[in-house]
Amino acid sequence: MMRSARGQTFLLLFASGALLPLALAPFNFWPIAIPCIALLCYKLQHQTIKQAIVKAGVFGFAMFFSGVSWVYVSIHEHGFIPAPLALLATALFCLFLALLFALPFAIAALIPQTSASWLLGLPAIWVLSEWFRSWIFTGFPWLYAGYIHTDTWFSGWAPIGGVMWLSFITALAAATLAQLGSQLLGKKLPIQLGVKISCTILVALSVSGYLLQSIKWTKETGKSLSVVLVQPNTDQNKKWSTSERQSILEQLQEQSEPHWGADLIIWPEAAIPATPKRVSDFLIGIDKTAEVNQTALLTGIPTQDWSNGKYYNSVLALGTAKGQYDKTRLVPFGEYVPLEGVLRGLIRFFNLPMSSFSLGAKDQALLAIAGEPMATAICYEIVYPDLVARVSREATMILTVSNDAWFGDSFAPQQHMQMARMRAIENAKPMLRSTSNGVTAIVDHRGKIERQLEQFSAGELSGNITPRVGQTLFAQTGSWPVVIMALLMCAGLITRRLLRQQPSRH
């Protein structure tokens, strides 16, 4: 019977974890996240450290295997790994992420095993779990619970506490539901005071979030820039072939031709599939054309520092804008290979094109477009809340370029777009998102998509962007207030339990 009950528990946890990504893009059925997390909260009560980690691990594995299954596309279709091995690699990757997700939940076994402690402790542990995997081994800050509120009233809190504060609120709702269910199943009526207080707090947070949406954290600079985002829809499997290079450059030039004279034209990440030295004539020509037409052109391109031989994933400014931004957060295996001396050459996946990049400098000058400073985030960087907050403090608009062609027709581009929108909300700055095959969009300072292109098609998105100056509270503090709050909550609860366990002296 015990084995049967344990099996049912693991099955329920697996199902809940697998369903959680339905709350995020592209499905956006956000309410489902709360009962899914509530089940995990319920099952973590009265557990040993080992039991808590295992149960959280089962939930986490299902969540990642369901929510980041698009990793399989990169490994199989672009890494040329046979399907069974690609599936195994995807499962191992998700198992590793599940372990990182689960480790902080060991704290659940260390706090007082009471209703009030779980209402406070489990949301704090959830936040610590997200924070932990935001930086360990360079981080993988994907599938944060707070993203479910990109379009709800709670988004009004994002400029204050960021996505992790929204995650805390989500987990608080789940912990409250878990305690309510526990008390009803235990036939404990009336409902305990802690659950009533928690419900009241959640209602207050929701209403105040709605009211906070009307606050103007930043203000317009008085300018309006005409912009054109070019989406070339280049075939990823042909992109780095030298025989295709000329046709790719010609297509970029042809798509831009009708739009010279706009304040800004943007080509996506690695739009030019060669270093500047190899396409110098093309760049000189484009630079002159852009300058003559008083247009700033930004393009993704791999660059090389000839003084040290290092390669960078960069955005290069041409025409009326000058400068360069080098990416500071690299994708493991995609842009660099951990343990390169051992893994490089082992299988084709470890030899993907442009997988030998170096980190750009931490503090780089902002690119300026018509006198307006622009913060830049290349692809993966946009999913790091604190990074974007830091670089966008003095900026009046945010640019993110990406090449999501690596992930095909999967959840990844829509998930990526949702996270980019949250960065716009957190910092109250408008955003331009230029991608190789979608989602290419113009986003306002409240995270609303004003215009976007259809995915998997070549096209140009024309529109205007209104720069904004100022800083939100989150832009100034980042996630640290929420993380410190979660750490203090857990530390306080653990201390309280330890003090209670000490024998009394009489």
* 219 carries an active-site annotation: no
Closest CA to 99 of 151, 68, 59: 59
**Whole-number Cα distances in Å, 161 to 7, 151, 423, 478:** 38, 16, 12, 7
* 36 carries an active-site annotation: no
If you write DSSP's letter for every residue of 115-161 in order, what string do you get?
HHHHHHHHHHHHHHHHHHHHHGGG----S-GGGGGTTSGGGGGHHHH
The answer for 145, left when phi > 0, alpha when psi is -120 to 50, beta otherwise, is: alpha
The answer to whether the CB of 154 falls within 8 A of the CB of 209 is: yes
Q: Which residues contact 4 (CB under 8 A, 6 or more apart)?
A: none
Please identify which of the residues 269, 372, 381, 460 carries the catalytic annotation.
Answer: 269
Please identify which of the residues 43, 379, 381, 429 carries the catalytic annotation.
Answer: 379
Q: How many whole angstroms separate alpha carbon 431 and alpha carbon 414?
A: 16
Please identify which of the residues 41, 327, 426, 460 carries the catalytic annotation.
Answer: 327
Closest CA to 229 of 288, 284, 282, 300: 300
In degrees, to the nearest 5, what angle opens at C-alpha 357 toward C-alphas 356 and 362?
155
* 379 carries an active-site annotation: yes
Q: How many whole angstroms separate alpha carbon 423 and alpha carbon 388?
A: 7
- Ranges of beta strands (E only) in 352-494 are 367-369, 372-378, 397-402, 431-435, 441-443, 449-452, 459-465, 468-469
The answer to whether the CB of 116 falls within 8 A of the CB of 175 is: no
Active site residues: 269, 327, 379
